[in-house]
Amino acid sequence: QKEVEQNSGPLSVPEGAIASLNCTYSDRVSQSFFWYRQYSGKSPELIMSIYSNGDKEDGRFTAQLNKASQYVSLLIRDSQPSDSATYLCAVKLRGGGGNKLTFGTGTQLKVEL
Amino acid sequence: DGGITQSPKYLFRKEGQNVTLSCEQNLNHDAMYWYRQDPGQGLRLIYYSQIVNDFQKGDIAEGYSVSREKKESFPLTVTSAQKNPTAFYLCASAVGDQPQHFGDGTRLSIL
């Protein structure tokens, strides 16, 4: 089992719809969770961080964390074509000294007109 | 502006050659990281450093070397021992438990 797993996609949603991206992780005691957006050929850009169970909202983005089920998700409301990118889930696993993160392979999102 | 600067943007390596990728940050971050990304893959950690003059191997350190002589700088050398160096190399920095932020990356190819 991979330490951090994401569905590679592509996930296609129509413009204006809600995009739901999911990530599961193997280490039950992980404490820090991050979502990065990466456009093709560019470097990752942090869009959300979440540290405690529940929802965290920032504009059109909502991160959801469920530590008991070991998953973290990202919802994008009112999806726009500019949201088309690969979304990387990153987790600070137990023993992650030095703030080491483990990344999933990313989910490609396509927002269609 | 504060940020992380990687150079060059594109780099070509000949057989048997060592090449060095530059990473400089003016964010006053203690920790710096090097990742490698292959097409369609996530990021894999090569080396990281939490303080000056100290660094640790990540998951794929073989064929790479680093130094951390200054807080602002964390150069990565891709040695000739790295037989498959073609990839997108990303440098990141962070302070405490805050998220990592990335530079724009260096794309390395083989001539």
pLDDT of A82 > 90? The answer is yes
Cα B45 from Cα A106, distance rounded (Å):
16
According to the model, what pLDDT value does residue B98 have? Answer: 86
Give me the mean pLDDT over the A76-80 stretch: 98
Q: B66-89, pLDDT tens digit by residue?
A: 999 999 999 999 999 888 999 999
Out of B90, B97, B102, the one facing A99 most closely (by C-beta) is B97
Residue B54 per-residue DSSP state? E
Give me the mean pLDDT over the A95-104 stretch: 76
Q: Can you give the three-state secondary structure of chain A, one letter per residue? A: CCCEEECCCCEEEECCCCEEEEEEECCCCCCEEEEEEECCCCCCEEEEEECCCEEEEECCEEEEEECCCCEEEEEECCCCHHHCEEEEEEEECCCCHHHCCEECCCEEEEEEC
Q: Could you tell me which chain B residue has the CA closest to the CA of A2?
A: B42
CA distance A80 to chain B (A): 23
CA distance B76 to chain A (A): 17
Coil/strand/helix, residue B84: coil
Choosing among B9, B27, B35, B100, which should be mutated to test the A contact, i.e. which has the most A CBs within 10 A?
B100
According to the model, what pLDDT value does residue A96 have? Answer: 54
Choosing among B9, B30, B43, which should be mutated to test the A contact, i.e. which has the most A CBs within 10 A?
B43
Q: Which amino acid is at B58?
A: G
Cα A8 from Cα A26, distance rounded (Å):
18
pLDDT of A72 > 80? The answer is yes
Cβ proximity of B54 and B68 under 8 Å: yes
- Contacting residues for A2 by C-beta, under 8 A, at least 6 apart: A26, A104
| % of chain A exceeding 70 in pLDDT | 95
Cβ proximity of B85 and B13 under 8 Å: yes
pLDDT of A1 > 70? The answer is no
Q: A39-66, pLDDT tens digit by residue?
A: 999 999 999 999 999 999 999 999 999 9
Residues of chain B numbered 24-83 and touching chain A (CB < 8 Å): 31, 33, 40-45, 48, 50, 56, 58
Pairing of strands A61-66, A54-58: antiparallel
- Contacting residues for A41 by C-beta, under 8 A, at least 6 apart: none
According to the model, what pLDDT value does residue B42 have? Answer: 87
Binned at pLDDT 50, 70 and 90, residue A98 comes out as low
Arithmetic mean of pLDDT over chain A: 92
For residue B4, which of B105, B107, B103, B104 has the smallest C-alpha distance? B103
Identify the segments of chain B with pLDDT beneath 70. 1-2
